[in-house]
Amino acid sequence: MSESKTPAARRPGVWRLGTLFGVEVFVANSWIFIAILIAVVMAPRVDQVAPGLGAMKYLAGLVFAVLLYLSVLLHEIAHAVMAKRFGLPVGAITLHFLGGMTEIHSESKTPGQEFMVAVVGPLTSIAFGFGSLGLLLASDVTGLIALVLEALATTNIFVGAFNLLPGIPLDGGRVVKAAVWKLTGKADTGLFAAAWGGRICAVIAFASPWILRMLGVTTGLTDFVLSAMVALFIWGGASSALQIAKVRRSLPTLSARALARPTITVPDGMSIAEAVRRAQSEGVGAILTHTTTGEVSGVVSEGALSTVEEERRPWQAISSVARPIADTPTLMADIPGAELLRVLGTQPAAEYLLVDPDHQIFGVLMASDIEAALAKI
């Protein structure tokens, strides 16, 4: 589940299926590959239960692939409906190579919400699997229909159980996060635990073919390739979650005041060369300009300044590389770290003017300095 600022209808590499329960549904192009793979894998079983179909056995396998992904869609819809029930904004559902993803654009407000949104997907898959199994056992169907019901039962029960493994990005990881959050009162601690759980699950997934061989189970090249792909998927998601947790844990220490550059104010008609010389001599990292009446008029842009050639700087006015003060976002110097990151997303700019509670200018905060501070976390 992730946040996306790209309009759903313009996403590359996907095609739109439609809308369910007010949520747009997309299919990634990679699904075509997995559908063909499923059709090829299912073909020998189709031949066993319905001999004589010839090439049509691949079409039967393709039909099963479609039914399988419809059950994956049911899993994701369960996530989306539960999230909407709690008032969490849902972006879109995307079916892809390894299953599906529901984009939820907000964090759960309580451990209970986190638990319910996470667990409802796997439980839906398991319920669908046992429903298919019950229908198979209670009916007299044979042949292709029996094969489809058996395969749907097996895959959905497996998918549900697999998703309950205790590590992010799997749903079970979010269950772990909810449990630890409930016990500690800290969502970030829960995210740490779930992310490390995900890394452990990734290692186990990668080693699973060797473990099965030691237990006497025959494994082939396909098993090694699939386990490696699953392990990479889980490890990547867990590592991203771990980085997010580290950033969130460090947010209280992210101080705009500490990162702010002291300023010097110069007349807006002063040459660039002289303004830079004064800034360097006073050891400040930012330049403001003021009018003839002494009113601060602009913040010198580092980006614009770097484009001016050295030979032009003695005669070009500093105001030519300054952003008008009215166009420069102004923040309180004591803005909390979490709010600062939110502003970076909603009001992107290269420079921010920091002011004290009495609205006196404290300094200039560069976006590049914030990014550098986050990179050290």
State percent of the chain over pLDDT 90: 49
The segment with the largest mean pLDDT, out of 23-32, 37-46, 54-63, 178-187, is 178-187
- For the chain, how are helix, strand and coil distributed in percent, rounded to 5? 60, 15, 25
Q: Round the average pLDDT of the chain to a whole number and report it.
A: 88
Give the distance from CA 236 to its chain's centroid. Answer: 11
Give the C-alpha distances (Å, rounded to integers) separating 266 from 8, 20, 269, 277, 325. 47, 59, 8, 11, 14
Which pair of structure tokens corresponds to residue 16? 């739109």
pLDDT of 8 higher than 70? no
**35-46 burial, b for 16+ CB within 10 Å, e for fewer?**
beebbeebbebb
Average pLDDT (174-184) is: 96
pLDDT of 301 higher than 60? yes
* Residues β-bridged to residue 363: 354
Res 2: pLDDT: 39
Instruction: Tell me the per-residue pLDDT of 251-277, one tens digit each, with 9 for 90 and over.
Output: 777 788 999 999 999 999 999 999 999
Instruction: Tell me the per-residue pLDDT of 71-101, one tens digit each, with 9 for 90 and over.
Output: 999 999 999 999 999 999 998 898 887 788 8
Average pLDDT (19-45) is: 86
Contacts of 29 (CB under 8 A, 6+ apart): 13, 14, 15
Res 78: pLDDT: 96
How far is residue 231's CA from residue 226's CA, in Å, rounded to a whole number?
Answer: 8
* Residues β-bridged to residue 10: none
Res 4: pLDDT: 38
pLDDT of 10 higher than 80? no
User: Is residue 6 within 8 Å of 63, Cβ to Cβ?
Assistant: no
Q: What does residue 14 show for φ and ψ, rounded to 5 degrees?
A: -135, 160
Res 377: pLDDT: 64
pLDDT bin (cut points 50, 70, 90) of residue 22 is: confident
Q: Cα-Cα-Cα-Cα dihedral of 96, 97, 100, 106, to 10°?
A: -70
Q: Is the pTM of this model over 0.85?
A: no
pLDDT bin (cut points 50, 70, 90) of residue 11 is: low
Res 28: pLDDT: 86
Does residue 229 or residue 288 have the better pLDDT? Answer: 288
pLDDT of 12 higher than 80? no
DSSP 8-state secondary structure symbol assigned to residue 193? H
DSSP 8-state secondary structure symbol assigned to residue 291? -
Does residue 191 or residue 5 have the better pLDDT? Answer: 191
Average pLDDT (331-357) is: 85
Q: What does residue 88 show for φ and ψ, rounded to 5 degrees?
A: -85, 130
Give the distance from CA 100 to its chain's centroid. Answer: 13
Among residues 165, 231, 166, the alpha carbon closest in space to that of 193 is found at: 166
Contacts of 102 (CB under 8 A, 6+ apart): 1, 23, 76, 79, 80, 83, 90, 93, 121
Among residues 152, 147, 146, 161, the alpha carbon closest in space to that of 129 is found at: 152
Could you give the strand order of the β-sheet that contains 99-104, starting from the edge strand earlier in sequence? 14-20, 23-28, 90-96, 99-104
Please provide the size of the chain in residues.
377
Among residues 125, 267, 251, the alpha carbon closest in space to that of 186 is found at: 251
Contacts of 76 (CB under 8 A, 6+ apart): 93, 95, 100, 101, 102, 121
Which pair of structure tokens corresponds to residue 320? 């030519």
pLDDT of 140 higher than 90? no
How far is residue 290's CA from residue 110's CA, in Å, rounded to a whole number?
Answer: 49
